[in-house]
Structure formats: C-alpha cells, structure tokens
C-alpha cells in the first residue's frame, strides 16, 4: 500500500470513529452495530448501522478500502484514459434517516482514489466527497446555517472553493426525470487535488468534521418538534425521491455495485421506509408545497432572498 | 399512423379496458382513477391508478402510444443499427401491489414498436411483453398454476415458445447485485415477430388475457388469508428488491424515463410502501427463508421437483 493510501486510510478510519461516537453521544441509548467485511478483490470495510432508534430511524457509517484491477465504469466518467487502471479506493460515507419528519435526512462522504500507472498514463490520485441536506419541512434558518458552515470550513483552503463546490452539489444531486434537486444541497467535489496530498487530506477531514458541525445543531433544534400521520406520509413520499436518486443516478452507489462491494453496505443509504403513493395534493397544501416551491430551487443560501410571502409563512 | 400501429393501438386499448373492468369486478368497491396525458414529442396515454384499496394497496394500468425522432438508448440494446430511427411505441402495462402479503405482486406488459426507414435499414416492427409473479409467501400450487397457464396460452402459437420465453423471463428479471431473481418468473419476450403481424398481435392479446387467467385464481385463493405485523414487515423488505430491480435494471422504466414519458405513469410500478431495513434474521426463519431457498431459484415450474423437506413444510 502506498504511503498516501495508508494516510487516507488512517485519516478516514479515525473520522469514522469520531462520527460514530459523536452521533451516539447525540442520541443516548441508540447504538451503531458494527460489521466487518472483506472484498473479493482485496481490502474490505467496516459498516456501522443504527436501526430503529427513537431519533434515528436508520443511520449508517461505512468505511471501506478496496482494491481492484480496473476502475469500474461509474468511476471512468471524465477519465476515459484510466480505463483498465488498477486502483485503490478509500471511502467513508454517512447517511442519516431521522424518524421525525422535521429533521432533515443527510448524507456525507469523503473518498480517496489512486490509480496505478497504465500504459502511458502515470499514477494518479484524487479526492472526492461533500455533504448535502434533504429536508422535508425545511426552515430557512437551518438552510442558511448549513451552507454557512460549509462555506466556513472551505474558506481556509481557498475563497473560490465553496461557491464552486456548492454549484457542483446542485448539479450532482439532481433528479433529471423530475427536474428537481434531491434537497437543498451543500458541497460536492470530485477529482480534487489542492496544493498537495497532505493539504487535500486535511481538507477532506475538515469536510467530515464540518458535516457534524453543520448537522448537529439542526438535529438539536428540530428533533422534538411534534409531528403526526400527515408529516409521516409526506416524509415517506419524499424519501421515495431519495431512493430514485440513489438507484438511478448516484455514482457512489453504482460504483459500489459495479465493483462488487458489499450490497448491504452500499445500499445502507436507502431509507428504512419509503412510499410511492399518489399524494399530488401536497403540491397545493401548506406547508408542504413550500418545499418544492421555495426550497428545491438552486439558490444562494448565504443570501437566500426568499419572497415576502414565504417569510410571512415561516414566522407564523 | 400505419395500419399496423393503429391495429396495435386499438387492440391494446381494448385489452386495457378489459383488464381494468375485470380487476374492478374482482375487488368490488375499489376503483381505478383515470388520467390522460400527452407526450411532448407526440402521442400520449391513459394511466389508470387504483390507490389504497382494501385488497389492492396499489394497482396501475398504463396504456400509451408515443412517437419519437430517435429510439432511446434503453431500446437500442441488441439493435445498434436502429440508432437514430424514428419510432412509434404502443404499450400496455399492469402492476398490482396487493395489501395482503400472501397475495403475490404481479406485472404484465405488451408492447408494439415500429421504426421508420433509417439510412440503409428498412422499416421494422416487433412485439415485446410477458408477465411475471413476485410472491412473498409462495405456495407451490400457485407457482405451478401460474406457469401452466402461461404454457397453455403459448402452445397454440408454437410448442417452443413457452420454454424459450420462460428462460428469457428468468434471465431478464434478475437482480445481478443480489444474485437473485425478482420472483418466480413467467414469460418474457422481445424482438418478437411470429408468422406475420396479425399472428403476433393475436399472441400479444392472448398474453394479456392469459395474465388475467393466471392471476385471478391466485388472488381469490390467497386474499383472505390472515396476516399480521410480521408478514407485513417481510413484504416491505421484499418490495424494496422490487424497487431495486425497476430502477437499476428495468428497460421499460429506463426507456420511459429516457424518452420523456410521464414520470408518474412510468413509476406507477413502484410499491406504495417499501423498506430497506436490516432484517437478515428472516433468512433463517420459516416460512420466510423458503422464499429464497426454494422459490427464488430458476426451476422447471411445470415439474418443480422440490425437496421433501420443503413439501413437509408446505403441508403443515
């Protein structure tokens, strides 16, 4: 294993521990169960799953380090010259499906990939990752806070990073067939090399820590809000869009399935319950219609400029 | 419109009526709601949806007739010479998600496609379709009956058809990432031209009628069986596999999304409720473990030859 792959491995493994410990501390009594697995082609991972908690209906933290003789198709987009290159991939991903519909679903990921020399193409490495938020009953202040935290963690690494990664996030988490984003976004990056390996690894770790900083206050603010059948029904409807995104578009999911990873770990991102029912009436009702009308639009969340009509609604 | 497209249109439209009337008669008090839509590139369809019934938790009957300037990628597999060919597609599809976990989920489809002359390639037409069964608590006699009915409807059109279409069905409805079929199969055909257009259309209509003949007795036999939380939980788990198949592999779904069809009609096949929860203990419990162990294996259902152990279980 290269020194870099080892450092990414150790860094992401420690980050996974931190995330698991921090989340467990936030929801006393709810515990992750750990499952280690080996990859057929070499390497393996540790999947941690929290099921049926009071606060977290389902939460997963996946760490993996796999090797392969050739990058799978999902990883070749924009890098056709690397077709056939041996690779190592170290990844950490987190998905949280809270039970309370007022608490947003969220996802975070960091990954390190290095390829071996292949024909004329020299060895290469890059990082990818980010985090994004999928609220069902969004609050403006939460969305602003989420993006502000993302911008703050990016700034020490370059002023231009947040706007770039924010736009990439909007582009990536987009359901083309519904002409609708998955949520209110966050940051997303791929093919990333900052000044050097060490700086980029530091940035990836900052993204993992920034995810916790961004999510925990929103969790704390919303977890005790009351909800009932109506909010649950709407949540299950919206979660079905999450499933559609992950199975139709998500490169990480398709990369995992194509590279023969552990299916239950890869699909840990899918919600514990989701429904495809005919609930079009929510498009006309408040507050549900505000989700698609105001929040699921690409927007400068640091200066959201939402209409007065919406603000009146929010302060009711 | 060509005479053939018109005949397929009229034939499938009548078949949709028959299926809707027959299903409604089987579940008194449950009604389909009808929704007509127009396709941006020409043509359109009628979607009929039954929601939240006592017996049918969700059922959909979609009829569509769309035109396009070029076959979408999902329709080009095995026909690369037709890339860029203008086309007409007439289709009818049915999906039923019953509430009672003892009643299998089922799907049927017939479609007619004709392409215009394109470069050196002359105009062409073909039929596709079939039906398949996805039980959660399968009964051997139901599986045999299902396949027997399929074999009986195929026989007048050729002895070789059922075995061929049964194998194609096993190959098609297969979740590669789980190394598991979607259900116990049935028949599946594509690229089909029997002696002539009229014979093939008659066969497609026989498939639609055969679907009703095969499903209704199973529905009648199982709909009043008792069930509770456990069966529901297992059903929701298994339905998640159904979602995975349709979004990851189903050519009809991908064809629809790629050709800009009506999203709610295309995704009508998805279950009203499904869950991705950690329920691995069902792999070790009876009767749930029998599903994967005995039923979700390619099998000659006309002579199933199931083990004595299983037969003892069945007669308990």
Would you state the pLDDT for residue B307? Answer: 58
CB neighbours of A149 closer than 8 A, spacing ≥ 6?
A210, A213, A214
CA distance A229 to chain B (A): 15
Q: Of A51, A177, A178, which is closest to B277 when you measure between CB atoms?
A: A51
Q: What pLDDT does A82 receive? A: 84
Q: What is the largest CA-CA distance in chain A?
A: 64
The residue in chain A having the minimum alpha-carbon distance to the alpha carbon of residue B267 is A276
Q: B262-266 long-range contacts, Cβ below 8 Å, gap at least 24? A: B262/B37, B262/B39, B262/B45, B262/B47, B263/A177, B263/A178, B264/A278, B264/B47, B265/B35, B265/B37, B265/B45, B265/B47, B265/B60, B265/B62, B265/B64
**Residue of B9, B97, B102, B107 with catalytic role:** B107
Only one residue has tokens 């938020």, namely A133
Preceding peptide of A287 cis, ω within 30°: yes
Specify the DSSP element, H or E, that contains A256.
Answer: helix A251-258
* Chain B residues near any Cβ of chain A (below 8 Å): 49, 51-52, 58, 177-178, 236, 240, 243-244, 247-248, 257, 263-264, 267-268, 270-278
Q: Where along chain A do its domains lie?
A: 3-314
Q: Is A35 a catalytic residue?
A: no
- Closest in A257, A276, A278 to B177, CB measured: A257
pLDDT averaged over 10-residue windows placed end to end, chain A, 316 residues: 94 98 97 91 90 97 90 79 88 97 98 91 94 97 97 98 98 96 97 97 98 98 97 98 96 83 91 95 93 92 73 58
Pick the residue from chain A with its C-alpha nearest to B57: A277
Do the Cβ atoms of A277 and B52 come within 8 Å? yes
Question: How confident is the model over B219-240, as pLDDT tens digits?
Answer: 999 999 999 999 999 999 999 9
Give A84 to chain B, closest Cα distance, Å: 22
Helix or strand (DSSP H, E) at B202? helix B197-222
Cβ contacts of B275 within 8 Å, gap of 6 or more: A271, A272, A273, A274, B233, B236, B237, B239, B240
SS3 B27: coil
Q: Are B150 and B132 in contact (CB under 8 A)?
A: no
Q: Do B278 and A49 touch (CB under 8 A)?
A: yes
Question: How far is it, in rounded angstroms, from Cα A193 to Cα A93?
Answer: 20
| Residues linked to residue B62 through DSSP beta bridges, in sequence order | B47, B93
- Distance in angstroms (rounded) separating the CA atoms of residues A173 and A188: 9
| Cis amide linkage into residue B161, ω under 30° from 0 | no
pLDDT digits (tens, 9 = 90+) for B64-109: 998 888 887 777 877 888 888 889 999 999 999 999 999 999 999 9
Strand stretches in chain A, DSSP E: 33-38, 43-51, 56-68, 87-98, 105-115, 124-134, 174-175, 180-181, 185-192
Task: Tell me whether residues A275 and B277 touch, CB distance under 8 A.
Answer: no
Does the global pTM surpass 0.90? yes
**Chain A residue with the nearest C-alpha to that of B177:** A257
Among A247, A248, A276, beta carbon nearest to B271 = A276
CB contacts < 8 Å between A and B, how many?
62
Pick the residue of A99, A269, A278, A292 with the most B CBs within 10 A to test the interface with B by mutation: A278
Task: Verify whether the Cβ–Cβ distance B270 to A276 is below 8 Å.
Answer: yes
B263 neighbourhood in chain A, CB within 8 Å: 177-178
Four-residue CA torsion sign, A98, A101, A104, A108: positive
Q: Hey, how many other C-beta atoms are within 10 angstroms of the C-beta on B25?
A: 9
Of the candidates A9, A39, A102, A107, the residue annotated as catalytic is: A107
What is the tens place of the pLDDT at every residue in B275-297? Answer: 999 888 998 999 999 999 999 99
Q: Tell me the backbone φ, ψ of residue A183, rounded to 5 degrees.
A: -165, -145
Angle ∠(B191,B194,B196) on CA atoms, nearest 5: 110
Taking CA–CA distances from A279, the nearest residue in chain B reads: B51
How many Cβ atoms from other residues are within 10 Å of residue B258's Cβ? Answer: 17
Per-residue pLDDT, B85: 86
Residue B141 pLDDT: 93
What per-residue confidence (pLDDT) applies to A108? Answer: 98
pLDDT at B310: 57
Selection from A235, A234, A134 nearest residue A175 by Cα: A134
CB contact under 8 A, B263 and A177: yes
Select the residue from B56, B62, B99, B177 to test the A interface by mutation, using most A Cβ atoms within 10 A. B177
Burial label for B300, CB within 10 Å (0-12, 13-18, 19+), is exposed
Q: Quick check: B273 and A274 CB within 8 A?
A: yes
| pLDDT attached to residue A120 | 86
Regions of chain B where pLDDT drops below 70: 306-316
Q: What is the pLDDT of residue A315?
A: 55
**A244, A248, A270: residue with CB nearest B276:** A270
Q: To the nearest whole angstrom, how far is the Cα of A263 from the nearest Cα of chain B?
A: 7
Question: Is residue B131 within 8 Å of residue B93, measured between CB atoms?
Answer: no
Fold type of domain A3-314: oxygen-dependent coproporphyrinogen oxidase (3.40.1500)
Write down the mean pLDDT value for chain B: 93
Token digits of residue A40: 């057929």
> What was the ipTM of the complex prediction?
0.92
């Amino acid at each position: 294993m290269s020194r870099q792959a080892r450092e990414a491995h150790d860094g992401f493994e420690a980050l996974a521990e931190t995330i698991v410990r921090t989340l467990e501390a936030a929801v006393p009594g709810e515990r992750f169960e750990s499952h280690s697995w080996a990859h057929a082609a070499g390497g393996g991972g540790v999947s941690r799953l929290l099921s049926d908690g009071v606060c977290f209906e389902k939460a997963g933290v996946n760490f993996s380090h796999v090797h392969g003789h050739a990058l799978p198709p999902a990883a070749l987009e924009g890098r056709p010259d690397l077709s056939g290159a041996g690779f190592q991939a170290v990844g950490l991903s987190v998905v949280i499906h809270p039970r309370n519909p007022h608490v947003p679903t969220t996802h975070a990921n960091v990954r390190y990939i290095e390829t071996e020399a292949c024909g004329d193409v020299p060895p290469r490495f890059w990082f990818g990752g980010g985090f994004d938020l999928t609220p069902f009953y969004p609050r403006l202040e939460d969305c602003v806070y989420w993006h502000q935290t993302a911008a703050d963690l990016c700034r020490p690494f370059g002023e231009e990073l947040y706007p770039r990664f924010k736009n990439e996030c909007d582009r990536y988490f987009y359901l083309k067939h519904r002409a609708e984003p998955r949520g209110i976004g966050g940051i997303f990056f791929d093919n990333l090399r900052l000044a050097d390996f060490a700086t980029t690894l530091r940035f990836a770790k900052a993204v993992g820590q920034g995810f916790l900083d961004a999510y925990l206050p929103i969790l704390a603010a919303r977890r005790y809000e009351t909800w009932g059948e109506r909010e649950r029904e709407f949540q299950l409807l919206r979660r079905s869009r999450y499933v559609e995104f992950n199975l139709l578009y998500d490169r990480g999911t398709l990369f995992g399935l194509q590279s023969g990873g552990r299916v239950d770990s890869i699909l840990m991102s899918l919600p514990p319950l989701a429904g495809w029912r005919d609930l079009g009436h929510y498009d006309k009702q408040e507050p549900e219609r505000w989700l698609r009308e105001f929040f699921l639009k690409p927007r400068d969340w640091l200066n959201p400029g939402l209409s007065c009509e919406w603000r009146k609604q929010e302060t009711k």
